[in-house]
Amino acid sequence: MARKPSDRRIIGTALRKIDAVAKVTGTTRFADDLAFPRMLYCKLLRATHPHARVVSIDASAARALDGVQAVLTGKDLPIPFGILPVSQDEHALCVDKVRFIGDPVAAVAATSEETATAALDRITVAYEPLRSFDSAEAAVANPEPRIHDYGDSGNLHKLIDLEFGDAAAGIAEGDVVREDLFFFEGNTHLPMEQHAAVAVWSPDGKLTLWSSTQTPHYVHRALAKVLELPPARVRVIATPNGGGFGGKSDPFNHEIAVAKLAMLTGRPVKITLTREEVFYCHRGRHPTLMWVRTGVKKSGAITGMHFRSLLDGGAYGSYGVASTYYTGALQTVTYNIPRYHFQGARAFTNKAPCGPKRGHGTPQPRFALEVHVDKIAEQLGLDPAELRLRTLVPPNSLTANYLRVGSMGLGRCIEKVIAGSEWKKRFRQLPEGRGVGLACSSYISGAGLPIYWNNMPHSGVQLKCDRSGGVTVFCGSTDIGQGSDSILAYIVAEILGIDPFDIAVVTADTDLTPVDLGSYSSRVTLMSGNAALQAAERARQILAVHAAKQLEVPVDRLQFADGRVFDGNDSKRGMSFADAVQAAEAAAGTVGTVGSYTPPRSAGRYRGAGVGPSPAYSYSACVAEVDVDPETGIVRVPTIWIAHDVGRSINAATVIGQVEGSIYMGLGEALMEEMAYRGNRNVVHKIPSLLEYKSPTTLEMCDVITYLVEDPDPNGPFGAKEVGQGPLLPVMPAVANAVYDAVGVRIDEVPITPEKVLKALRRKAKGEAGRVGPESFPDIPWPEPTRVPTPWEGGDGKAVEQVRA
């Protein structure tokens, strides 16, 4: 019954997405497109102080306003929540303290948006300002006043120290030891759709929330917790997201506020955030300061690495503990690092909370590592492509920090972009002002562990075969534009031999669909894809048994293709897929199956080993070409060549789309995007608007030449690995390396703005180091390291027992 890969009809083909027509006709219903009779509108009153005690709130004048149906303050929702079990530090409305400008303190529901807005003006909040901190360094230097009353030390939320082998000794074995400092500025997702949510409460005690969320399952849990409702009476429906990129992955205060307002008023309540408020939700890239020291042999072999990161977390925990681990986790999966020491710290500051943005915690260290490697190559007199090719992590291996690498196509990726960009003819050979730069990267295809501890599957699928020949797939996954609904249909269609457009896909509804943990960590194609694959194979099994009886053909000779079930030796002997369903239904009853997916157990057994393991790692290599104007410092990027090892494309066209979208977003981060704050007095967001937060338009976007490399991974469905995030990672360092090739200055800081380029050029002209970047890394009270012997030292993934003082 198994078909050869060459027999595949759907997997790998460029097809329309199953929701493409809805998207191009404007019929897709996003959260703000929903409206209900008697619906109320919610507005949030937000803090005007970055850090202050809430002394009192007087909402009586707001309550008296005609049209106002309810006003909530912090005391109405006292139970804290947060995405990670270890950081339950948010309240729907601040209870006793505000922690950044934009923190919500009160919520109003009124019969119109105008009335709700007018009511906000009638709420008086008395604040007692506290000293505020606008940078991670300020938080390190000032343990008091504490922004939160939990965390590892003062205003340090999290401190990590992990050592795999004796890194210092390893570094000392290098012929060259190089030390560098880097800074990566924070930036934000900027989805075109502003977050929106609508809550409906029914007098029978059931709550329904529609929301533009990437993680309906976690919103479900947070609502049940904060509202103290039985989870079975709470239904969360994730509407198609108008872009997410990680910015809609946390349970949000506004979702809880509308739910509570719906319960109080008995009427549907909707909120749509303004663009300014979307900047306050944030959860974007952590501003990160990094220090790295590496020992390298003349051959290019790395002997050891020590990496430090300091993250500015903003006002709340969010995914930050995971983000911090991620700044140290994936250094080891591209180049062989035999001994490795990672120290990471996350500070609380009085700014909008940071969290997971596309690449989650790994673009910052990837930027540092790839520029650092470029400098090492120059120091050794090696071509940076050659250096990388010499040090690649082998496939099917275990890294020093116990990450299990499966398929590994980075070598092929490097060769593709080197050839395509004519690297050998151009690197260090272009006229002044023009340059090329190379960088590589890797990313996870889903995390090995769930966000809250449990031993259930990460993704589930239910499949119903209808006697019409139609099939319905139910899955908790959420389509945020990446095409995850379509992936389910393609995979099921491939296995059952039917047209993917005969498949109905029902997703992201906690009442109707089995749990999928959500659209984050590039996990959906691999995890829900594997669940769909299992469910479809089970359905095929059932159908085959009954079709075989009817056709009098041995089961294992049956094939499913082109909407038919037939004898592989005699294709005329067969029946339609619908007839096969009917035969099975007549003989055995309703045809339905389930499938689920749990990632393989990870090899690391030490504390902190939960972040980094993945069923499969994608790989990318990127060459950027730049034009630098030495008069203005303006960097233009005409072309980027990118090769991405996606394992196997399920739909080539959506893979290309993810690659191009990632390059675009990386280009924005490389050149212009930054969350800037006025730190002098008030830590107020400088630019909460689409006009002032610069992102690339059609006029800045570069040409992209994409090469898909397919190195199938046994853990992926049909070998597929991730593509939504990985290709973003190498863009920033490739651009930085290209700027150096073009004008000989190092911008060790992202974004690479004209001001920084000019500053570096001026320094160089004066005979100083032509560099702009951080100068020092603050002293951090690192904990005693967790020491884990590497696999090649006979380690078993566990930490060495420590004698506690």
Partner 1 sequence: MGNESKAMIAFTVNGESAEVAFAPHKMLLEVLREDLGLTGTKHGCELGECGTCTVLLDGTPVLSCLVLGLACAGHDVGTVEGMASAGKLHPLQETFADLGAAQCGYCTPAFLLTAQALLAGNPQPTRDEIKDALAGNLCRCTGYIKIYEAVELAAARMRGESAEPTRESLYGA
Angle between helices 731-743 and 652-671 (to 10 degrees): 50
Residue 805 interacts with partner 1 (CB under 8 A)? Answer: no
In the bound complex, what is the minimum distance in angstroms from residue 25's beta carbon to partner 1? 6
Q: Which of 5, 21, 202, 600 binds partner 1 (CB under 8 A)?
A: 21
Q: Which of 67, 80, 145, 243 binds ligand FES (CB under 6 A)?
A: 243
Please, are residues 261 and 367 in contact by the beta-carbon 8 Å criterion?
no
Q: H helices then E strands: how many in the chain?
A: 19, 34
Residues 357-396 that bind ligand FES (CB under 6 A): none
Please, are residues 320 and 355 in contact by the beta-carbon 8 Å criterion?
yes
In the bound complex, what is the minimum distance in angstroms from residue 447's beta carbon to ligand FES? 25
Residue 653 interacts with ligand FES (CB under 6 A)? Answer: no
Handedness of CA 750, 756, 762, 768 (dihedral sign): negative
Nearest residue to ligand FES, scored by beta-carbon proximity: 192
Which helix (H) or strand (E) segment is 325 a member of? helix 320-329
Provide the residue count of the chain: 805
Pattern 654-673, partner 1, x by CB under 8 A? xxxx-xxxxxxx--------
Partner that binds at residue 274, options ligand FES, partner 1, none, CB closer than 5 to 8 Å by kind: partner 1
Partner that binds at residue 653, options partner 1, ligand FES, none, CB closer than 5 to 8 Å by kind: partner 1
In the bound complex, what is the minimum distance in angstroms from residue 245's beta carbon to ligand FES? 10
Residue 522 interacts with partner 1 (CB under 8 A)? Answer: no
Pattern 202-241, partner 1, x by CB under 8 A? --------------------------------------xx
Partner that binds at residue 46, options partner 1, ligand FES, none, CB closer than 5 to 8 Å by kind: none
Partner that binds at residue 726, options ligand FES, partner 1, none, CB closer than 5 to 8 Å by kind: none
* 173 C-beta neighbours (distance < 10 Å), count: 15
Residue whose CB is less far from partner 1, 193 or 579: 193
β-partners of residue 202 are: 206
Please, are residues 488 and 507 in contact by the beta-carbon 8 Å criterion?
yes
Residue 455 interacts with partner 1 (CB under 8 A)? Answer: no
Partner that binds at residue 698, options partner 1, ligand FES, none, CB closer than 5 to 8 Å by kind: partner 1
Residues 671-730 that bind partner 1 (CB under 8 A): 689-691, 695, 697-699, 701, 703-708
Cα 497 to Cα 318, 584, 596, 680, 738: the distances in Å are: 43, 16, 21, 64, 48
State the amino acid at position 401 in one-letter form. N
Residue 275 interacts with partner 1 (CB under 8 A)? Answer: yes
In the bound complex, what is the minimum distance in angstroms from residue 661's beta carbon to partner 1? 5
Give the residue among 236, 206, 200 at the shortest CA–CA distance from 218: 236
Burial (CB count <10 Å: 0-12, 13-18, 19+), residue 574: buried
Residue 563 interacts with ligand FES (CB under 6 A)? Answer: no
Residue 192 interacts with ligand FES (CB under 6 A)? Answer: yes
Pattern 466-495, partner 1, x by CB under 8 A? --------------xxxx------------
Residue 265 interacts with partner 1 (CB under 8 A)? Answer: no
Say which residue the tokens 């004048």 belong to.
61
Residue whose CB is less far from ligand FES, 151 or 240: 240
Q: Which stretch binds partner 1 (CB under 8 A): 28-36, 71-79, 220-228, 463-471?
A: 28-36
Residue whose CB is less far from partner 1, 2 or 699: 699
Residue whose CB is less far from ligand FES, 481 or 514: 481
Neighbour-count burial for 511-544, b at 16+ CB within 10 Å, e otherwise: eebbbbbbbbbbbbbbbbbbbbbbbbebbbebbb
The rounded distance, in Å, linking the Cα atoms of 338 and 98 is: 45
In the bound complex, what is the minimum distance in angstroms from residue 661's beta carbon to ligand FES? 8
Residue 14 interacts with partner 1 (CB under 8 A)? Answer: yes
Say which residue the tokens 């009442």 belong to.
511
Residue 297's SS3 state is: coil
Name, in order, each residue with C-beta under 8 angstroms of 205's C-beta and a sequence gap of 6 or more: 229, 233
- Judged by CB under 6 A, the number of residues near ligand FES is 3
Name, in order, each residue with C-beta under 8 angstroms of 705's C-beta and a sequence gap of 6 or more: 420, 421, 639, 640, 641, 642
Q: What is residue 349's DSSP assignment?
A: -
Residues 452-481 that bind ligand FES (CB under 6 A): 481
Say which residue the tokens 């809805």 belong to.
22
In the bound complex, what is the minimum distance in angstroms from residue 243's beta carbon to ligand FES? 5
- Judged by CB under 8 A, the number of residues near partner 1 is 73
Pattern 145-184, partner 1, x by CB under 8 A? ----------------------------------------
Phi and psi dihedrals of 507, rounded to 5?
-135, 165
Which helix (H) or strand (E) segment is 506 a member of? strand 503-507
The rounded distance, in Å, linking the Cα atoms of 288 and 777 is: 11
Name, in order, each residue with C-beta under 8 angstroms of 144's C-beta and a sequence gap of 6 or more: 154
First to last CA, the chain: 63
Q: Which stretch binds partner 1 (CB under 8 A): 164-172, 379-387, 581-589, 651-659?
A: 651-659
Residue whose CB is less far from partner 1, 275 or 426: 275
Please, are residues 333 and 399 in contact by the beta-carbon 8 Å criterion?
yes
Phi and psi dihedrals of 83, rounded to 5?
-70, -40
In the bound complex, what is the minimum distance in angstroms from residue 422's beta carbon to partner 1? 13
Residue whose CB is less far from ligand FES, 324 or 482: 482
Residue whose CB is less far from partner 1, 585 or 660: 660
Residue 25 interacts with partner 1 (CB under 8 A)? Answer: yes
In the bound complex, what is the minimum distance in angstroms from residue 583's beta carbon to ligand FES? 43
Please, are residues 731 and 669 in contact by the beta-carbon 8 Å criterion?
yes
Cα 408 to Cα 401, 404, 538: the distances in Å are: 17, 11, 30
Residue whose CB is less far from partner 1, 13 or 153: 13
Residue 247 interacts with ligand FES (CB under 6 A)? Answer: no
In the bound complex, what is the minimum distance in angstroms from residue 481's beta carbon to ligand FES? 5
Residue 120 interacts with partner 1 (CB under 8 A)? Answer: no
Between β-strands 471-475 and 459-465, what pairing exists: parallel, antiparallel or unpaired?
antiparallel
Contacts to ligand FES by CB under 6 A:
192, 243, 481
